[in-house]
Amino acid sequence: MIRTLIGVLVQVTLLGVTSAVAAPAPPPREIGALVFDGVPEIPDRIVQRMNQYQNVRSAAPQDWWPGGGLLIATRFGDTVQLHRIAAPGADRRQITFFKEPVSGGGFGNEADWLIFTRDVGGNEMSQIYRLDLATGKEALLTKGDGQNGDLVWSNDRKRIAYRSTVRNQKDHDIWRMDPLRPENQEIILEAEGYWSPLDWSPDDSFLLAAQFISANESYLWLVDPRRHTKKPVGNHEKVKGETISYGQAAFDESGEGAFLTSDEGSEFRTLRWMRLGTTKAEPLTQDIPWDVQAFVLSRDRKQMAFTINENGTSKLFLMDIGTRKRKEVSIPFGVASSLEFNPDGTALAFALDSPSSPKDVYTLDIGSMKVTRWTESEVGGLDPKSFRSCEIVSYPTFDDAKKGKKRTIPALVYKPEGSGPFPVVINIHGGPENQSTAAFSPMSQYYLNELRCAVIYPNVRGSSGFGKTYLKLDNGKLREDSVKDIGALLDWIATQPDLDSRRVSVIGGSYGGYMSLACLTHYSDRLSGGVDIVGISDFVTFLENTSEYRRDLRRAEYGDERDPKMRKFLEGIAPTKNAGKIRAPLFVIQGANDPRVPASEAEQIVRLARKNGVQVWSLLAKDEGHGFQKKANSDQMGYAVSLFWETFLLGDGLTTGID
């Protein structure tokens, strides 16, 4: 029986003060699908105050609604569902009403139906459904098994290509389907490993697909759906001893060339154009020293919108395909995503959030370059002016980037109003190749305004967005160098007069959960506590037990545990093997259905830490996977984490709370 766990993606974190003797643990109790173990009763004052922050909403565009308006994803009940909004500022009309969250909505060539994806209990076995808008009835289109995703519409909007593991539950094949005749769906490329469709040629006769091997290595292919064959696109050989990482790709108007992003010969993924059948590409953004994060072509393929990831913030550009001339669009400071041209190419929809404003839906009128906000998501009755923004800093770490030049680590620093010194919560992202960006977190705002804690999001080595050299700095046996970057952050905090180095905690989800545990094994004497959310506690047991469809991808990142030398190294750095060094309080949160980091990873670290006398709280969600998607569960997790901070980061180890 699963007893102790890890949770899901939390956008904030805080920890607690080390207590010499663990307080008596409350008995396990259940609330709905949640099992609390060692967690005290939550005071009503936390529930009442945090509810406002937990009712902050967000919205993102999914597609343009035929005849006018937008299809968007937002939450009004317990989970994110699809809604229609007819005009800027208009009411949102809910379209789907399911217990489980919905994603990937979009229209075919008719206005009376759409398709979307949904899984069950966070198991990530997403299936594709068709929704009849007149009756509200759904129809299951896929086989009801396997993982299905990355839907790509044909140009005539009559078919989709998608990836699926239904054949053997391991490999991601590429399939084709007519959503009105799903009985005729077929595999068009039987693959080995992780493959994904990207774009149909203008005449819908060919398909661009990506083969993902690791964060540092991926390739593009041209797929012939009729013959079930493939040909390489671009360079598939190492360049000066380095592998290439391709990102997005899309056919040009002629179908004889493709736009793509690649880091070939560059630190960053730059935008390029390449004639198919060749390996030489025309660079288009070589003058911009940052990654091209995403791009989208209009349906006539005459214009492009793309975003640049500049130190965790977005710059939005439009490009005329014919002239290759680009111009920057003036948007607020923050992170832009979900780019989507309308059918005639006169407008662009996108989502935008900032450190001090939730994600909302915007459009850009291409002719006038006017940006219009379509949604203004509710903020729980809070004053939006009270939300704090961040400062982007770089702090020195333990090694040199170049001879005689100290390496620096970028970080986003949020501080409460006032002079401090403030307790600090260090929030470490997952991936490990993800990146903390200047996006909105209601829980971070709660910690800033209600608990008066500073929140720091470091982008330790191995994070994306800062060049491929930086991305590779934690690979293989360099894994713990990223942990040393947190040690350097603790040193930096001690130099800041408005930060309290005696009260610092760490939190993270997934790989960030491993980082939290690793920090507790290395720096327990400098930390008040730690929160591990769906984190890896032992790389060997993780690799042996993670879902088969992603095991080889993770081996490419962390190392192959079947190799005796690598196995010995991975065992040596495992938090489970170093649990005796953990002395600060620990909170472990987990979803029982997690296909990525199995709940056993949480169970074993809880058991070992308790055996060594550490005060451990745990929370298990029986109806969640790799993250809490249901609002009721997420709310309860938020209450418990806040109480953990009050008890150990702000208090004396007793659950007395704060005034």
Query: What are the pLDDT digits (tens) for 59-113?
Result: 999 999 998 999 999 988 888 999 999 999 999 999 999 999 998 889 999 899 9
Q: Determine the Cα–Cα distance for residues 308 and 396; give it in Å rounded to an integer.
A: 25
Please check the confidence at residue 559 and state whether its pLDDT lies above 70: yes
- 218-240 mean pLDDT: 92
pLDDT at 9: 31
pLDDT at 631: 86
Please check the confidence at residue 11 and state whether its pLDDT lies above 60: no
pLDDT at 555: 86
- 337-366 mean pLDDT: 96
pLDDT tens-digit map of 128-151: 999 999 999 999 999 888 999 999
Q: Which two tokens stand for residue 9?
A: 């993606």
pLDDT at 433: 87
- pLDDT class for 3, splitting at 50, 70, 90? very low
Q: Determine the Cα–Cα distance for residues 629 and 534; give it in Å rounded to an integer.
A: 13
Please check the confidence at residue 373 and state whether its pLDDT lies above 60: yes
* Half-sphere exposure in the Cβ direction for 527 (13 Å, CA): 29
pLDDT tens-digit map of 239-274: 778 899 999 999 999 999 999 999 999 999 999 999
- 564-572 mean pLDDT: 94
- pLDDT class for 23, splitting at 50, 70, 90? low
pLDDT tens-digit map of 379-431: 888 999 999 999 999 999 999 998 889 999 999 999 999 998 999 999 999 98
Please check the confidence at residue 341 and state whether its pLDDT lies above 80: yes
Strand 186-189 versus strand 529-533 pairing type: unpaired
- 532-551 mean pLDDT: 91
pLDDT tens-digit map of 103-114: 888 999 989 999
Burial class for 48, CB neighbours closer than 10 Å (0-12, 13-18, 19+) = exposed
Which region among 27-41, 190-204, 622-636 has the lowest average model confidence (pLDDT)? 622-636
- pLDDT class for 652, splitting at 50, 70, 90? low
Please check the confidence at residue 13 and state whether its pLDDT lies above 80: no
Q: Determine the Cα–Cα distance for residues 134 and 298; give it in Å rounded to an integer.
A: 29
pLDDT at 627: 84
Please check the confidence at residue 14 and state whether its pLDDT lies above 60: no
Strand 113-118 versus strand 616-621 pairing type: unpaired
- pLDDT class for 289, splitting at 50, 70, 90? very high
pLDDT at 164: 96
pLDDT at 120: 87
If you write DSSP's letter for every residue of 224-241 in order, what string do you get? Answer: ETTTTEEEEES--S-BTT
Q: Show the domains of the chain with their CATH numbers.
A: 29-54+382-650 (3.40.50.1820)
pLDDT at 93: 95
How many angstroms separate the Cα of 619 from the Cα of each of 422, 511, 566, 639?
A: 28, 18, 32, 12
Please check the confidence at residue 659 and state whether its pLDDT lies above 80: no
Q: What is the mean pLDDT of the chain?
A: 91
* CB of 261 closer than 8 Å to CB of 248: yes
Strands of 59-64's sheet in order across: 59-64, 70-75, 80-85, 92-94
- 40-47 mean pLDDT: 95
* CB of 108 closer than 8 Å to CB of 179: yes
pLDDT at 10: 33
